[in-house]
Amino acid sequence: LTFPLLSVTFLVSFGSSMLYGYNLAVVNSPAAHIKAFYNATWSQRYGHGLASGSLTLLYSLTVSIFAVGGLVGSLLVGVLVERYGRKGTLSRSALLVLLAGGFMSFSRELGSPEMVIIGRSITGLHSGRCCRAVHGPFLMALLRGFLGLVPTIFICLGVFFAQVLGLPELLGEDRFWPLFLSVVVIPTSLQLLLLHCFPESPRYLLIERNDVCRATEALHRFLGTPDVQDVIEEMKEEQRSLSSVEMVSVWQLLRDRSVRWQTVSVVVVNAGMQLSGIDAIWFYTNTIFENAGIPVSEIPYTTVGTGAIEVVAGLIGCFTIEKLGRRPLIITGFCTMGICSAGITVSLLVQTDLPWMRYVSVVCVVGIIAGFCMGPAGVPFLMTAELFTQSHRPAAYVVGGSLNWFCNFTIGFIFPFLQMSAGAFCYLVFCGVCLLVALYVYIIIPETKNKTFMEISHIFT
């Protein structure tokens, strides 16, 4: 691992994965201020405020529209990469964030809730493009488990930075929420400037553009050695093998009986990752703590504490995946999340008689976040690549990515209504999902560490 390779890995993750994490959590702290702005704007326009249900619906749309943009972006990224390259796609996507930041920063001045919603959808479009574009092209095969979870670390850091900036002493006041939402333009601008210091992905240049000269120069930069002929020959061999392989469409993948269990596994794990309740925690942390009885003045600092633990848990998963393997991390993670979801329900039901149980809710939220970051956060993406050959892999990523964004939207949109209708019992839904996914992984999915596709396929058969 050389400094240029690590630098571009962290730069790409900084401007894509970290922004994804930031945008997941940024709507949590200013929720009350944004709702007040929506209500005041509605009163100015129509002479009366919004009903409680309508206000909840509008705010839920603001939260979840991010995932709709992400779904569209993830479906478009293949065409964009083919036309502009990996680096070009990242640069053009960064311009979208600047546009989104402008919409959100001027929304209150212009009295337009629509600008907030449009800005959120555009940031989702950027995340959908970049999260797909970052997988693989700049990360070398060496230590794939470690580097494969680096984006997860940056997602955790993005969530943590959003929680810190949301403190009352920083951008947590009512007058600062438009600025809080548009802070994303700063890391994006930095990435846009620094990307020009690095060459295009060597694999893209050689395999997709057949430009051996530029690929060689890029390898010299990334690997820091003049002798890259072995790597070039390896890429040429990969190019020859890909030219003889017919890529499978999503429809063909779903109908292919030879990889049926692999496809079902991708569906279960990727859907379970989002339906586990982690998005509800990120989007509505303050509301969850408020319902748990935590004093309002303590909630922002409690939230920051959970974010710090989240980063630590992500680092633990990153540094242990090559030793422990994929299955132990993902099974342990989902089981931890399921048990803690049930713990939140229990603590909410008995806290009237036992006031100290409100802090058990905090511990359970921390447990959900830690369990997610140690395994379910990043392992599904690695497993998707390792369960399929090159011919099936792009279609598998489309299926997994689409499910991720769709389930993200579903939780972001329905959780407030689920919480209002089911109360404390809403967390039992997440508990059931987590435990069922853990059971499925334990029974069906083999360990993929250090195994070839043929070995994995034989185990499934």
Q: 448: which DSSP letter?
A: -
Q: How does the average pLDDT of the chain come out, rounded? A: 82
* Cα 440 from Cα 315, distance rounded (Å): 26
More confident residue, 307 or 320: 307
pLDDT mean over 37-61: 88
What pLDDT score does 1 carry? 57
Q: Residue 143 pLDDT more than 70?
A: no
**Are 368 and 393 a contacting pair, CB within 8 Å?**
no
What pLDDT score does 106 carry? 92
* The length of the chain, given as a count of residues: 461
* Rounded (10°) CA dihedral 60, 16, 231, 326: -50
* Cα 377 from Cα 370, distance rounded (Å): 10
The Cα-based distances of 311 to 139, 156, 159, 418, 428 in angstroms read: 21, 5, 9, 28, 26
Of 71-80, 153-162, 385-394, the poorest mean pLDDT is in 385-394
* Cα 340 from Cα 140, distance rounded (Å): 36
Read off the pLDDT of residues 292-314 as tens digits, 9 standing for 90 and up: 777 888 888 888 888 888 788 77
* Cα 135 from Cα 7, distance rounded (Å): 15
Q: Of 274, 283, 227, which Cα lies nearest the Cα of 377? A: 274
Q: Residue 84 pLDDT more than 60?
A: yes
What residue ranges define each of the domains in the chain, with the CATH number in brackets? 1-198 (1.20.1250.20), 248-460 (1.20.1250.20)
Q: Residue 148 pLDDT more than 60?
A: no
pLDDT tier for residue 145 given thresholds of 50, 70 and 90: very low
Q: Residue 265 pLDDT more than 80?
A: yes
- The dihedral built from the CA positions of residue 196, 201, 206 and 212, taken in this order, carries a sign that is positive
pLDDT mean over 194-203: 76
Read off the pLDDT of residues 417-461 as tens digits, 9 standing for 90 and up: 888 888 888 889 999 999 999 999 998 888 777 676 667 777 777
Q: How many CB atoms lie within 10 A of CB 226?
A: 9
List phi, psi (to 5°) of 89: -65, -45
Q: Residue 157 pLDDT more than 90?
A: no
pLDDT mean over 201-227: 78
Reading the block at residue 303, the tokens are: 């939230």
* Cα 400 from Cα 395, distance rounded (Å): 9
List phi, psi (to 5°) of 233: -65, -35
Query: What are the contacts of 135-141 at 24+ separation with CB within 8 A?
Result: 135/381, 135/385, 135/397, 136/203, 136/385, 137/86, 137/201, 137/203, 137/204, 138/5, 138/8, 138/9, 138/12, 138/86, 138/201, 139/9, 140/5, 140/222
Q: Residue 140 pLDDT more than 60?
A: no
Burial string for 164-173 (b: 16+ CB within 10 Å, else e) reads bbbeeeebbe
Q: Residue 180 pLDDT more than 70?
A: yes
Q: Residue 26 pLDDT more than 70?
A: yes
Q: What share of the chain is helix, strand, coil (3-state, %, to 5)?
A: 80, 0, 20
* Cα 322 from Cα 331, distance rounded (Å): 15
Of 140-154, 285-299, 328-342, the poorest mean pLDDT is in 140-154
pLDDT mean over 394-400: 84
pLDDT tier for residue 335 given thresholds of 50, 70 and 90: very high
Reading the block at residue 182, the tokens are: 């548009």
* Cα 433 from Cα 83, distance rounded (Å): 40
**Percent of the chain at pLDDT exceeding 90:** 15
Q: Residue 149 pLDDT more than 80?
A: no
pLDDT mean over 408-422: 87
Rg of the chain taking only CA atoms, in angstroms: 22
* Cα 50 from Cα 40, distance rounded (Å): 9
